[in-house]
Structure 1
Amino acid sequence: MQTKEHGTARASRAGNASGYADGLRDGACEYLVRHLQPAAPPKRDCAVLYVPQGFEAIDQGVIEALRRTVREVYVAEAARMAEHASLVRPDWMLVLNGLHVFPPDHLEQVDAVRSLGIRTAIWFADDPYVTADTMYIAPRYDAVLTHELSTIPMYRERGCANVHYMPLAVDQARFKPMKAEAKYRSDICFIGQAFWNRVEMFDAIAPYLKTRKVFIAGGLWDRLRSYKELKRFIRPGWLPVEESIKYYNGARIVINLHRTTEAGKDNKNVLDLPGRSINPRTYEISACGTLQLTDTREDLPQYYSPGAELETFGSAEELIAKLDHYLTHEDERRAIALRGLRRTLADHTYVRRLQQIAEVLGW
Structure 2
Amino acid sequence: MPKSLAAGPRRSAVSDAYGRGRNAGMHAGYDEGYFRGKSQGIVNRVVYTPPVRDIHVLFVSSGKGFPYSPIDEAIIGTLHGMVRQVSLTDAKQDVAAEASRTRPDLVLVLDGMYLPVEQMDAVRAMDIRTAVWMTDDPYYTDMTVDWIHHYDYVFTLELNCVAHYQNLGCSQVHYLPFAAFPVHYRPIAMPGAAKRDIGFVGTAYPKRIQFFEPIMDQLMAHRTFINGNWWEKFPGYGRFNNQIEINKWMGPAETADVYNSAKIVINLHRAVDDDEINQNSGHIPAASPNPRTFEISACGTLQLCDERSDLARFYTPGVEIDTYRSQGELLEKVEYYLANDHLRKEIAHRALERTYQEHTYAHRLNTLFSVIFP
**TM class, shorter-chain normalised?**
over 0.9
Displacement after TM superposition at 1:182 (Å): 5.7
The alpha carbon displacement at 1:30 in A equals 1.1
Is 1:155 aligned to residue 170 of structure 2?
no
Q: 1:3 Cα deviation (Å)?
A: 4.6
Partner residue of 1:130 out of 135, 140, 145: 140
In the alignment, which residue of structure 2 is the partner of 1:269?
A: 280
Write out aligned runs for 1:48-197 (5 A).
48-53=57-62, 54=65, 55-80=68-93, 81-99=95-113, 102=114, 106-181=116-191, 183-197=193-207
SS at match of 1:14: helix
> What amino acid sits opposite 1:93 in the alignment?
V
Unpaired segments of 5 or more residues in structure 2? 1-10
> Which ranges of 4 or more aligned residues in structure 1 deviate by more than 4 Å?
none
CA contact (8 A) 1:50 1:76 kept: yes
SS at match of 1:111: helix
Deviations 1:219-238 (A, max 9, x none): 11122224233222101122
TM-score, normalised via structure 1 length: 0.94
Q: Secondary structure at the match of 1:184?
A: coil
Report whether the alignment pairs 1:298 with 2:306: no
Summarize deviations over 1:280-315 as a string: whole Å, max 9, x none.
000000000000000011110110000000110000
Match of 2:55 among 46, 59, 83: 46
Spell out, residue by residue over 1:57-105, the C-alpha distance to the aligned partner (whole angstroms, 9 max, x if none). Answer: 3222212222222222111122222221111010110001113xx25xx
Who wins on radius of gyration, i.e. which is larger?
2
Does the CA contact (< 8 Å) of 1:253 and 1:290 recur in 2? Answer: yes
Structure 1: distance between partners of 2:346 and 2:128:
48
Contact 2:191-2:260 at 8 Å conserved across structures: no
**CA offsets 1:136-180 (integer angstroms, 9 cap, x no match):** 221111110001011111211111111111111110122000023
Answer whether contact 2:50 2:363 (CA < 8 A) is retained.
no
Task: Tell me what 1:283 maps to.
Answer: 294
Give aligned-pair identity as a percent. Answer: 39
Q: Which residue of 2 aligns with 1:361?
A: 372
Q: Which deviates more from structure 2 when the two are superposed, residues 25-34 or residues 68-77?
A: 68-77
- Report the counterpart of residue 241 of structure 2 in structure 1: 231
CA root-mean-square deviation = 1.6
Q: Out of 227, 231, 245, which is 1:221 matched to?
A: 231
Q: Which runs of 5+ in 1 are unaligned?
A: none
| 1:76 alignment partner AA | T
Q: Which residue of 1 aligns with 2:47?
A: 37
- TM-score, normalising length: structure 2: 0.92
Q: Secondary structure at the match of 1:68?
A: coil
In 1, the alpha carbon distance for the partners of 2:191 and 2:257 equals: 8
Contact 2:37 2:189 (C-alpha < 8 Å) held by counterparts? no
2:271 is equivalent to residue 260 of structure 1:
yes
Deviates more, 1:164-173 or 1:253-262: 164-173
Q: Report the Cα distance in structure 2 between the residues aligned to 1:266 and 1:27, rounded to whole angstroms.
A: 42
> How many pairs does the alignment contain?
358
Tell me, yes or no, if the aligned pair for 1:123 and 1:144 is still in contact at 8 Å: yes
Residue type at the aligned position of 1:29? S
C-alpha distance in 1 between matches for 2:196 and 2:88: 38
